[in-house]
């Protein structure tokens, strides 16, 4: 009878450890994904992309006046 109580506590401990491992793994996947997205945003613009970006900024400034 006493062995059954010990096994239930042991199984509950493994369950909690597995849950923590899943949360930790999920956070790692999210962090790596966000790092990759930021790296893509940090790449230099081509000349055409830069020109379009400047034109969009200028057009916003002219509309507000």
- Of 34, 57, 33, nearest to 45 by C-alpha is 57
Q: What is the DSSP string of 27-65?
A: HHHHHHHHHHHHHHHTSPPPHHHHHHHHHHHHHHHHHH-
Q: Tell me: pLDDT of 4 over 70.
A: no
This prediction's pTM: 0.50
End-to-end CA distance of the chain: 82
Percent above pLDDT 70 for the chain: 83
Dump pLDDT digits (tens) for 12-63.
Answer: 889 999 999 999 999 999 999 998 887 767 778 889 989 998 999 998 877 7
Q: Tell me: pLDDT of 64 over 70.
A: no
């Amino acid at each position: 009878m006493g062995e059954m109580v010990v096994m239930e506590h042991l199984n509950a401990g493994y369950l909690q450890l597995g849950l923590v491992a899943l949360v930790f793994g999920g956070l790692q996947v999210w962090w790596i994904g966000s790092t990759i997205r930021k790296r893509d945003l940090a790449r230099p613009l081509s000349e055409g992309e830069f020109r379009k970006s400047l034109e969009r900024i200028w057009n916003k400034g002219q509309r507000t006046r």
